[in-house]
Amino acid sequence: MITIRKAQIGDETAIFQLIKELAIYEKAPAEVSNTIPELKQHLFEEQLCSAIVASKNNEIIGFALYYTSYSTWKGKCLYLEDFYVKQEYRQLGVGSLLFKDIIKIAEKLKAKRLDWKVLDWNDPAIDFYKKHKTELDSQWISGRITFNS
């Protein structure tokens, strides 16, 4: 049985391991500069972001990390920063459970929009989002500045 719940103190190590797995999957493992203590601080002390986890037999097998964002046109929004399920648990509906829970969270917060990004080469993720009847926007180009701190 798979359960979805809000992340709690003590989950940060398992979530961080999944973040590292995601970085490997996205061919960017050297880009992870976050740490377990920082993740714990940001999730539970500063509450800069929140997460839900999927677990099976008390093992965390997936997560979704999100935060409130703001649109000048729409108002309050929710941004899904990362969303990952261990490879051996894919095709079991875990991703759908997590994604549906994120949608419920956005609705409960009265968010006007739920946003996320997906890499253009990640066909399994693109297919997943299409299956859930989402809009994938090719008009906007992402911008970024990375600071070394």
Closest CA to 84 of 25, 149, 132: 25
Active-site positions read 129
The residue ranges of DSSP E strands in 15-129, in sequence order, are 50-56, 59-71, 75-85, 114-115
Q: How far apart are CA 73 and CA 121, in angstroms?
A: 30
Whether the Cβ atoms of residue 18 and residue 41 lie closer than 8 Å to each other:
no
User: Rounded to the nearest 10 degrees, how much is the dihedral formed by the CA atoms of 50, 55, 61, 63?
Assistant: -20
